[in-house]
Structure 1
Amino acid sequence: MTYQPPQVPPAAVRRLRLTDYRSYGSLDLELDQRPLALYGSNGSGKTNLLEAISFFAPGKGLRSAGADQVARKEAGQPAAVWGVYAELESRGDIFRLGVGAREGARRECRLEGQPATINELARMMPMIWLTPAQDRLFAGPRADRLKFFDRLVYAADPALGEAANAYDKLRTRRQKLLDDGRPDDSWLKALEMEMAGHGVAMAAARLDALIRLQAEIDVRPEGVFPKANLSLDGAVESDLADGMKIGEVEDRFAEALRNGRSRDAAAGRTLTAGPHRTELLAAHREKDQPAGDCSTGEQKALILTLTLAQARVLSRQAGLVPLLLFDEACAHLDAARREGLSREILATGSQAWLTGVERVLFEPFADQAQYFEIAPGLVSAA
């Protein structure tokens, strides 16, 4: 089978305006569809630009910061209002998107000047991001790997994140009831059934995403980024993979929750096996080695393998190439892999946003990228 990169349009930010966001009092950038190379010294504000864009996706952005943490501070006091405005080219049209928050308030979203949901914005501007904290993802905590994989899953369908949020809220409510002691059995049983429904939906979405992602990795030609073997180690995912019907898996999970009440109450947390305890397993195929045992450079290369493959999957699923936000993507990559990264990004057609301390890191892009030098509060075309 011959691999063919997707030939679909990218989601591209054609204008970006920031108001009282982090280090930027006011910023107005006009852009084209090409990738962006943002370079400057540490602390100059490169990551702030990527984070601002990430607020058009569900969640707390690539730094996991709340809406009350990103307002620009002067004289130690945060601004009363912060905002991010983007003119987005998506599927042949230009759309006006905005996110922001007043002091002490939650994030507000707007589409064409009207109130909108974050999921509406995310469907128009799908994105995937990587940060330096993920360089040794496979050697770190299980929860971090699961969070990374779930973000890949939810990039395909932001609504799936709602199931995860509902599941987590129900899990917290269940634990509080158990901690309070002698909860009403019928109430607890209803809560566990609802929790099981959301949990199985999460697990089913993960399995579907894993199958698509592994197939994309397998069909990809050999290159500088290693191929990975992926699997999910989780009780609910295992039941679904074994062919059990959705209703049967929900009943089985709800029963496990009922049987685990005493243990969960004693532990003060949900020890019962469920989607919250699933493990993403990855191996370096050529070396036949668990990803966690690989070097930092190899782990980063594997993460890029997954991310670039998911970008191609999303292009086919949504008919729209996602944005790629790569903070310090070239760190721990040798010259061959930096060149390979530029080649892969250009092949996807993504308007990737990449940061680095020096322009030389992005030389493989030549004139096929937009270059900006970043200084505190300033962005200059280079």
Structure 2
Amino acid sequence: MRAEAAARSTGASVASIQTATPAGSRAVMVERLVLAGFRSYGSLDVTFTAGPQVVFGDNAAGKTNLLEAIALLATGHSHRTTSDPDLIAWDADFARVEARVSSVNGVPGTLEVVLGAGATRKRIRVNGVPRRASALAAAMRVVMFAPEDMLLVSGSPSLRRGTLDALLVHRWATASASLSLYGRALQQRNNLLRAVRDGISDRGELRYWDELLCAEGGRIVAWRREIIGELAGPLAEAHAQIAPGEGRLALRYVTNAAATGGETPEEALRRRLAETGEKELWNGSTLVGPHRDDIAFELDARDLAGSASRGQQRTAILALKLAELALLTALDGHPPLLLLDDVFSELDPARRAHLVRRIADLPQAFISTTTLADLDPALVAESTAWHVTRGALALAEREPR
């Protein structure tokens, strides 16, 4: 019933979206989570039920680490660090994160990520079979709302690009590979630009990487524009519900390689690379492409980055997260797993109430908070509460006094 209600709430604007992920194979709930040597958890084996799971405890007790572990199983990487060794407990040689999950057709499955110290590569298994990180995104979708997201409107463009690219991976089966190929081409091209500048390599060696950069970069730009279009309806609707009468919220793609005269994104990027070639050699880095693009939040066509109050920014960010939920639910009619990392304390009562109403439609959600007093009493009453202390998790009837 909850999944059906969430599917109905997405609206007709995204109802026709299709995905390459097989509809009965994707996880909608984490039934069991096993951690070994992960962050503050030396060892943890816990079983979860349906509905909201509230994890509360003091700062640095391990609440965020728990949600980070679940997100890792859906993406293959941390949202807090780019260094995998940071995820390994200081007295451990490796970290292991494993979950038993239930899928939309009721068939159980397992997801596992093992991280080794030093040069050891991470190992990923889906149902016991070695797979790439992209297989995790196909197996389990998550929407995460963390304190860092409060900087989405006015913070670094990389935050906004990362948020959009995470949606691309769920929306298109080949997006993960394209993002990886683009990153590799960018790194190799930058190395070559410096080598050409220093007289070590010939300029002709750039040709291969130029073509790969343009092909994959053009694809990424096209996907980003399309996903912004698909988010438009759910985003405006969510914002109107949270802040009625305060204007229409929209996202606008800001590129340094704008297409002209009917160009494709790939053709526009190729033209811009030619135009900036000498400057790039001087700088030793690639100056145009999707890695330099941005996404603007606009309220009635006014950029919020420099003009919005803190409250308006939080409203826009919450609306985006709700739009992400709607978009991913519309892919196959089943909502993603929602992870809320200590964000209720950042929201006023009206915004909290709106978020609580959406949580009620979900099969499962994980919510971390320092104190249960920050949560809506009705949400607490319907939740399974977990008290975390120094990397240990225990069921709690009520918050200790």
Q: Give yes or no for TM over 0.5.
A: yes
Of the three residues 249, 261, 270, the one matched with 1:228 is: 249
SS in 2 for 1:140: coil
Match of 1:214 among 227, 232, 248: 232
CA distance in 2, matches of 1:21, 1:111: 19
Whether 1:166 and 2:181 are equivalent positions in the alignment is yes
Q: For residue 221 of structure 2, what is the aligned residue in structure 1?
A: 203
Q: Provide the rounded CA distance (Å) in 2 between the counterparts of 1:258 and 1:289.
A: 31
Contact 1:36 1:370 survives alignment (8 Å): yes
Root-mean-square deviation (CA), in Å?
2.5
Match of 2:102 among 85, 89, 96: 89
TM-score of the two chains, using structure 2 as the length reference: 0.84
Q: What is the percentage of aligned positions where both structures have the same residue?
A: 26
**Partners of 1:336 and 1:209 in 2: CA distance:** 28
Once the two structures are superposed, residues 26-56 of structure 1 have per-residue CA deviations (whole angstroms, 9 ceiling, x without a partner) of 1111112212211111111000001111212
Counterpart of 2:18 in structure 1 is none
Residue 106 of structure 1 corresponds to which residue in structure 2? Answer: 121
Helix, strand or coil for the counterpart of 1:331? Answer: helix
Q: Quote the Cα distance in structure 1 between the aligned partners of 2:83 and 2:388.
A: 24
Compute the displacement of 1:212 (Å): 0.6
Cα distance between partner residues in 2 of 1:358 and 1:243: 57
Match of 1:121 in 2: 136
Which string of whole-angstrom CA distances, capped at 9 and with x for unpartnered residues, describes residues 125-147 of structure 1? 01122321221322222222222
**Does 297-306 or 216-225 show the bigger shift?**
216-225
Secondary structure at 2:241 match in 1: coil
**Contact 1:11 1:124 (8 Å CA) reproduced:** no
Between the aligned partners of 2:243 and 2:385, the Cα distance in structure 1 is 25
Out of 168, 173, 176, the position equivalent to 1:153 is 168
Distance in 2 of aligned mates of 1:350 and 1:329: 20
1:53 matched to 2:70: yes
Gaps of 5+ in 1: none
Pairwise mapping of residues 306-345 of structure 1 onto structure 2 (< 5 A)? 306-345=320-359
1:380 and 2:394 matched: yes
- Taking the aligned partners of 2:269 and 2:59, their CA distance within structure 1 comes to 47
Cα deviations across residues 108-134 of structure 1 (Å, max 9, x unaligned)? Answer: 111222212221122110112232122
Q: 1:350 to 1:232 in 2, by over 3 A?
A: farther
Q: Which residue of 1 aligns with 2:283?
A: 267
Aligned residues: 368
Displacement of 1:260: 1.7
Instruction: Report what 2:202 is aligned to.
Output: 184
Match of 1:136 among 137, 144, 151: 151
For residues 11-30 of structure 1, the aligned pairs below 5 Å read 11-30=28-47
Deviations 1:159-182 (A, max 9, x none): 413212211221221121121125
- Separation in 2, partners of 1:289, 1:111: 42
Cα distance, 1:266 vs structure 2: 1.3
Alignment of 1:249-260 (within 5 A): 249-260=265-276
Assess, with a 3 A threshold, how the Cα gap between structure 1 residues 169 and 225 changes in structure 2: closer, same or farther.
farther
What secondary structure sits across from 2:73 in the alignment?
coil
2:51 aligned counterpart, secondary structure:
coil
Partner Cα distance (2:27, 2:335) in 1 = 4
SS in 1 for 2:74: coil
Contact 2:98 2:111 in 1 (8 A): yes
Structure 2 partner of 1:371? 385
User: CA shift at 1:153, angstroms?
Assistant: 2.8
The worse-fitting range, judged by mean Cα deviation, of 252-261 and 32-41 is 252-261
Distance 1:244 1:370, change over 3 A: farther
The aligned amino acid for 1:312 is A
Secondary structure at 2:240 match in 1: coil
8 Å contact from structure 2 (residues 239, 315) kept in 1: no
The SS at the match of 2:49 is coil
* Separation of aligned partners in 2, 1:294 and 1:158: 36
User: How much does 1:262 deviate?
Assistant: 1.3
The one of 65, 76, 87 aligned to 1:70: 87
- Residue 354 of structure 1 aligns to a residue whose secondary structure is strand
Query: Given residue 249 of structure 2, which amino acid in structure 1 is its aligned partner?
Result: A
Distance in 2 of aligned mates of 1:293 and 1:152: 27
Distance 1:339 1:216 in 2: 18
Residue 49 of structure 1: SS of its match in structure 2? helix
Provide the C-alpha distance between the structure 2 equivalents of 1:300 and 1:221, rounded to a whole number of angstroms.
Answer: 11
Shift of 1:350: 5.0
Mapping for residues 5-16 of structure 1, pairs under 5 Å: 5=9, 11-16=28-33
Report the equivalent of 2:369: 356
